[in-house]
Amino acid sequence: MTPETEVLDAVRAFNRFYTARIGVLEEGLLDSPYSLTEARVLYEIAHRPSVTAADLARDLGLDPGYLSRLLKKFTAQGLIDRRKSPEDARQHLLALTEAGRAVVEPLEAQSRAEVAALLAPLSPPDRAKLLTALKTVQSLLTPGAQAGPVVLRPHRPGDLGWVIQRQTLLYAHEYGWDGSFEAMVAEIAARFITNFQPDKEACWMAERDGEILGSVMLVESAPGIAQLRMLYVEARARGLGVGAKLVAACDHFARQAGYRAIRLWTNANLLSARRLYEAAGYRLIESEPYQGFGQSLVGETWEKTL
């Protein structure tokens, strides 16, 4: 099976699963006399001021002739009003009547209740995962969709476990580092959580549209000296300025907390990270060969005076 066939089959399988799960295959949506298409058209009219038939046909991908028949049916049933557009007499603006609202509002309430029941068994972390996945699918399948900005937020429970896994996988894949690297970052994360000093230390997660793209933490190394640790950027997020944003957050926090310098330890083969540190004003103060993570490496200490 080719990768293209695998994706195609997976999407079709999901479509079959989801349409059956939410009951859209039933003759009437939500036990109503209206089909899914009819209910969607009424929903759009209810929630879009000054909408026209042309707008609906374009945005919903409906055949104009089929849509025209639906609108005539709704007009005959007293569910919608049609009035000429003041801007273009050839177009008619559509709006729900009181009878139309009496149809749509119970459908919306029932739909929300059914989705709430669908989500009820999910834990908060699983709901967050679902939300991120839904946003990702919508973004990927929307032509010309613009991703939101990269934002930083403080760490939450569960974040550092995620970081340990993602950072370990990345360095194993790209540099061949072994499990001892995972042990090291797990120890760093555990010490941070156990000894966290909010006035002197911080951890940031970089997100875009709810998806984590990277992280960094700043800890106290010695009186007056902060240490930047575990800077990480997802491979797919490179080039978005995520690393620079995270390093700048450390700089700003360290100044506010009264540190006089920031230090960090990295490896000579992490070229992108080294360029980032140099651009941010860090200077290399020490380097030393060592055996670690199953490799022959050169460890480096960098420092920035604030």
pLDDT digits (tens, 9 = 90+) for 71-108: 999 999 999 888 887 777 678 888 899 998 998 898 88
pTM of the predicted protein model: 0.63
Contact of 82 with 75, CB cutoff 8 Å = yes
Domains 3-121 and 151-305 share a fold: no
| Other residues' Cβ atoms within 10 Å of the Cβ of residue 168 | 19
Q: Which two tokens stand for residue 4?
A: 């293209």
CATH superfamily of 151-305: Gcn5-related N-acetyltransferase (GNAT) (3.40.630.30)
Element (H, E) at 67: helix 64-76
pLDDT at 127: 86
Distance between CA 115 and CA 117 in Å, rounded?
A: 5
Q: Which residues contact 193 (CB under 8 A, 6 or more apart)?
A: 160
What is the distance, to the nearest Å, from the Cα of residue 46 to the centroid of all Cα atoms in its chain? 29
The architecture (CATH level 2) of 3-121 comes to Orthogonal Bundle (1.10)
Calculate helix-pair angle for 64-76, 36-47, nearest 10 degrees. 80
CA distances, 9 to each of 5, 86, 179, 252 (Å): 6, 48, 35, 48
pLDDT at 124: 84
CA distances, 263 to each of 11, 59, 242, 278, 281 (Å): 47, 54, 20, 12, 11
CA distances, 84 to each of 50, 81, 92, 94 (Å): 10, 10, 4, 9
Q: Could you tell me which of 203, 171, 206 has the C-alpha nearest to residue 189?
A: 203
pLDDT digits (tens, 9 = 90+) for 156-181: 999 999 999 999 999 999 999 999 99
Residue 39: what are its φ and ψ, rounded to 5°? -65, -40
pLDDT at 144: 65
Give residue limits of the domains in the chain.
3-121, 151-305
- Residue tagged 């939410």 (tokens): 22
pLDDT at 270: 93
Distance between CA 172 and CA 153 in Å, rounded?
A: 27
Contact of 46 with 79, CB cutoff 8 Å = no
- Residues in the chain predicted with pLDDT less than 50, given as ranges, are none
